């Protein structure tokens, strides 16, 4: 995705060497022969995923997750012992998953090289974004599949209405819903033969949304979501994860007329829209300007084009993790925090 720097170019000779190593590594240790025997029933499993038919002959034992969104789903499903590596982090891991995450190797904070992933000996590779497993990303799905490694991409990034070829982070003609995120949980739970865990996780997430929004009415309140970059800020359009948050709390997105996922919009236009509340991505990565919420607030309060915004003058900020602003299980966390912020500011009935 364009909010993350592109991966470095790969050297063909190194790829061939790594491929050879990976094919050897696939026979390495997993989580025990007993577990493999138990998980054999119900396989092969075939998933219809983003235009690809993904077939798993048995439950994966060495999955590599290339984005934080899919990583946190896998960890939430209790699959740390079957993870061979993770990559591309914008935030600290979700609360409650710290111990499980510490047991999984981190291949890179950003996009790892194709060789690095292959060195981990994966038997399954997951990603949150089409661009991660596409040209300019880690590698294409076809490159992995030629080596016998099935791949999976979060359906939220290829759902009906999502156009990834429209430039930037793509655009959506139809709003994303949390049901698509729940569908990803079901897919991954089925891939690993842990369907009951998947349904339990979905039930917990739905209960949290109900509790956060019970009796909430924020109609008439406008929100603006700022992910990163101070010179040319990435602000949320109508229909991605921030749109799902906004609809859940009953508010209005200041840029609901924009269908691009994360358009770059100038500050003069922001001043014209004058949002009531600004939702800030509080990122720990360092690939753009104004990544942390602290840096964003410093910019907003010091810049002549933004310091007189209503939200800035009244210090109406809500801080979210970057993952809460992406379609992921953390979007539920985003609903909770935005709802709480609106209540705290007296903007919700």
Longest dimension (CA), the chain: 65
Tens digits of residue pLDDT in 225-267: 999 999 999 999 999 999 999 999 999 999 999 999 999 999 9
Residue with the larger pLDDT of the pair 349 and 296 = 296
List, as one string, the DSSP characters of 60-89. -SSEEE-SHHHHHHHHHTT-GGGEEEEE--
- Residue labelled with tokens 């497993």: 133
- Homologous superfamily of domain range 215-344: Nitrogenase molybdenum iron protein domain (3.40.50.1980)
Please list the alpha-helical segments (H only) found in 171-302: 178-191, 195-213, 241-249, 267-273, 293-302
Q: What are phi and psi of 188, to 5 degrees?
A: -70, -35
Where in the sequence of the chain do the CATH 3.40.50.1980 domains occur?
A: 12-153, 215-344
| Helix (H) or strand (E) run with residue 98 in it | helix 98-102
Question: Cα–Cα distance between 209 and 245 in angstroms, integer?
Answer: 10
- The pLDDT of residue 26 is 39
Tens digits of residue pLDDT in 120-155: 999 999 999 999 999 999 999 999 999 999 999 999
12-153 maps to CATH 3.30.1490.20: no
| Helix (H) or strand (E) run with residue 226 in it | strand 222-228
**How does strand 171-172 pair with strand 162-163?**
antiparallel
Rounded mean pLDDT of the chain? 90
> Which of 158, 198, 200 is CA-nearest to residue 180?
158
| Percent of the chain surpassing pLDDT 70 | 89
Tens digits of residue pLDDT in 5-45: 443 333 333 433 344 333 333 333 334 333 443 446 799 99
Q: How many CB atoms lie within 10 A of CB 31?
A: 14
Tens digits of residue pLDDT in 256-301: 999 999 999 999 999 999 999 999 999 988 888 899 999 999 999 9
Contact 53, 150 (CB under 8 A): no
Residues contacting 98, CB < 8 A, separation 6+: none
| Helix (H) or strand (E) run with residue 278 in it | strand 277-281
Q: How confident is the model at residue 3 (pLDDT cuts 50, 70, 90)?
A: low
User: Is the pLDDT at 77 greater than 70, yes or no?
Assistant: yes
pTM of this prediction? 0.87
User: Is the pLDDT at 104 greater than 90, yes or no?
Assistant: yes
Q: 24, exposed or middle or buried, with CB in 10 Å at 0-12, 13-18, 19+?
A: exposed
């Amino acid at each position: 995705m364009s909010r993350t720097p592109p991966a470095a170019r790969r050297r063909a000779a190194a790829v061939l060497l790594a491929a050879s190593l990976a094919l050897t590594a696939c026979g390495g240790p997993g989580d025990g022969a007993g577990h493999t025997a138990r998980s054999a029933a119900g396989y092969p499993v075939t998933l219809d995923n983003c235009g690809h038919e993904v077939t798993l002959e048995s439950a994966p034992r060495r999955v590599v997750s290339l984005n934080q969104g899919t990583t946190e789903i896998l960890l939430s499903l209790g699959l740390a012992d079957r993870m061979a590596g993770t990559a591309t982090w914008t935030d600290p891991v979700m609360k409650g998953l710290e111990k499980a995450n510490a047991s999984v190797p981190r291949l890179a904070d950003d996009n790892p090289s194709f060789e690095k992933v292959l060195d981990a000996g994966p038997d399954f590779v997951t990603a949150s974004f089409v661009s991660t497993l596409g040209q300019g990303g880690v590698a294409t799905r076809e490159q992995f599949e030629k080596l016998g490694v099935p791949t999976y991409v979060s359906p939220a990034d290829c759902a009906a209405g999502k156009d990834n070829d429209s430039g930037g982070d793509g655009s959506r003609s139809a709003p994303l819903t949390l049901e698509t995120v729940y569908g990803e949980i079901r897919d991954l739970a089925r891939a690993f033969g842990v369907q009951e865990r998947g349904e339990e996780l979905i039930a917990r997430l739905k209960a949290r949304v109900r509790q956060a929004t019970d009796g909430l009415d924020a109609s008439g309140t406008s929100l603006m979501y700022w992910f990163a970059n101070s010179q040319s800020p990435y602000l949320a359009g109508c229909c991605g994860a921030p749109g799902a948050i906004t609809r859940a709390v009953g508010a209005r997105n200041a840029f609901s007329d924009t269908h691009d996922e994360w358009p770059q919009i100038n500050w003069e236009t922001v001043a014209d829209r004058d949002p009531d509340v600004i939702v800030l991505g509080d990122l720990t990565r360092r690939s753009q300007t104004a990544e942390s919420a602290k840096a964003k607030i410093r910019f907003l309060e010091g810049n002549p084009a933004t310091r007189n915004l209503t939200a800035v003058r009244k210090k109406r900020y809500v801080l979210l993790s970057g993952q809460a602003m992406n379609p992921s299980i953390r979007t539920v966390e985003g609903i909770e925090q935005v709802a709480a912020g609106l209540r705290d500011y007296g903007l919700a009935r």
